[in-house]
Each structure stands twice: as structure tokens, then as C-alpha cells.
Amino acid sequence: MTETLLQSVRRHADTFADANGIARTPIPGLIAVRAEQPSGLVHDIYKPLVCLVLQGSKQVAVARQTWSLAPGDSLLIAADLPTVSQVTRATPAEPYLSLVLELDLAVIGELTMQMQAAHGDDHQAARAVPTDTEVADAALRLMRLLDRPQALPILQDQGVREWHYWLLAGRHGAAIRQLGRPESQASRVARAVALLRAEFDRPLPVERLAQTAGMSASSFHHHFRAVTSLSPLQFQKQLRLIEARRRMVAEGASASSAAFAVGYESVPQFTREYGRMFGLPPGRDKQAACNSGSPSIQPCGGLAANAASDVYPRTDL
């Protein structure tokens, strides 16, 4: 990872980071993330993205997998996934810094067709690997465009496309290519995930999800778990609980109103499942989050599904 890229991202983050440490750029889907101290656990929904860790360290967990990210590592999230993340090393003198790019599925589809690479069979929707030199170089060229306002609107699409190309050509390529093939299992599961995201607060029979994915119910269960490491029911439950927590912490909703808003019919059931996921019952967790003053949902950072920070759902890694 080049020192030049680190300094470029740091300058941008130092100048533009908001109270949550998110520094947006004029390039859609590209953000820098900054944190001056270790964080608590952040439960969120990440959209498809790649995160380059430049300084400090962060831990990200998806289902039963956990990655410890250090400078020079890159995290790929190739599906909308519930995550738990935590900045583990950061100081005011050496803050945690990362650069996040939300993946553009249309660009991936076009490049996948043009590159004609071997299909492969990588359905893993999250992974961390050392960042390819070409990926870091493409990221630096994008950051340099931010200092050239006349060139930016002309060259930014080309720069984003180049970054996607090197991602597809590098260590993350096999997993990302699955998103560019409509017939791939990952793309089919993504259609079901989109339905779950849109209607997480309603009952969704597995038959409807399987139909959306173009699979039989048994095949859908298998491939959904292979991609997300969760069953459809577990996925929906985590969506509901993360959104309920956001409503309580960010909007001041009561536990009962948040429970009903996200689709629970029983407050006691909601309380039990909330405690299992977040470690505290809803009321105590809400109070602890408010007292801490730390953001409850954030992007690589992370991007929370309905938070106004990174992505719209979130992307702050």
C-alpha cells in the first residue's frame, strides 16, 4: 500500500470527515473513513463494496467468519450482508483510515463480458486479502482527480471503471465476477436478498424467495447459505433487529414501537432475540449507546441499511 495513497486519503478525510468520520467525495460511491479512537461493536448492513485499509486496524465479522484488517488489506463484500465491525487500533496521531468504493454492478457486468475470464466457482460473499498493487494504484489516481475539478467530471467514470477492472483482474476477481453474471448463483441469491431488504418487515415465505431467485426451495436454501453464511430466516431476523436498533438509537423510538415497526408481533420475543444479538436488552442497550456518544450505525467503516451515512445504506468500513 503506497504512502502516497495514505496521505491523499488522510488529507481528504481530515478536511471533509463529518462527526461520524465519513468523508464523502464528488465521485459517487467513493468515501474515505476516519476514526481517532477504537470503537465499540457496530452492527450494520454492508452493500457490495471494497474497502482498502490504509492505517490503523479494524475487525469485521460476517456470520461465523471474522477478519482482522491491517494496513495493506482489502475487504470485499459481494452481497448485502449483516455485519459486526469494530475499529481496534486508532489514535489522534495515527487515526484509522480506509477508502471505500461501492461496487457498480452495471460496470461489473460490462467488464465481465469483455474480459471473458474463466467463470470460476467462488460464491464467498465476503473475504479479506492483501490489496493488489494495481488496485491501490487505481485508487490513488481516483483520489488525485479530486484535486483537479476541471478533469473530474470528464475522467471520473473512466477512473471508477479502471478500479473495477483491476478488482476483477486481481485476488477478488472470482467472487466479484459472480455479480456480473445474471445466471450465477450469487446473482440469483442477490435478487432474493433485494426482496428481503425491501420487505424485511413482512412475512416472506421461502417459496416466494426461491421463486425470485429462480430456484427450487431446497436449492435456494443451500445457495443462500453458501453466499451469505446465513439461512433466509436468520438473514431477515438480523435485518429486523439492526433496523429496530437504529430506530431506537437514532430516532428515539421505544422498544415496543421499534419491534412492531420491523415486523415483530411479540415484544417479549423481540426482547429475547435483541438481547442475544446485541448482548443487552433493548432499553439498556439504547441507553448505553446514547451515553457513549458513538455512532450506532456506520460504514469501513460500514454502510447501514437505512442510515444516512455511507451508502445509503451504509458503507463505512
Q: How many residues does the chain have?
A: 317
124 pLDDT tier (thresholds 50, 70, 90): confident
pLDDT reported for residue 66: 93
End-to-end CA distance of the chain: 17
- Contacts with 266 (C-beta within 8 Å, 6 or more apart), sequence order: 259
Instruction: Quote the percentage of the chain above a pLDDT of 70.
Output: 89
Beta bridge partners of 77: 49, 126
Q: Which CATH class is domain 232-290?
A: mainly alpha
Specify the residue for cell string 439504547: 286
- Contacts with 188 (C-beta within 8 Å, 6 or more apart), sequence order: 213, 214, 215, 223
3-state secondary structure of 72: coil
The CATH T-level fold of domain 5-180 is Jelly Rolls (2.60.120)
Instruction: Tell me the per-residue pLDDT of 248-274, one tens digit each, with 9 for 90 and over.
Output: 998 999 999 999 999 999 999 999 999
Instruction: Tell me the per-residue pLDDT of 79-117, one tens digit each, with 9 for 90 and over.
Output: 888 999 999 999 999 999 999 999 999 999 999 989 876
pLDDT reported for residue 293: 58
Nearest Cα to Cα of residue 232 among 189, 202, 265:
189
3 state SS for 184-196: CHHHHHHHHHHHH
Q: Radius of gyration of the chain from Cα atoms?
A: 19
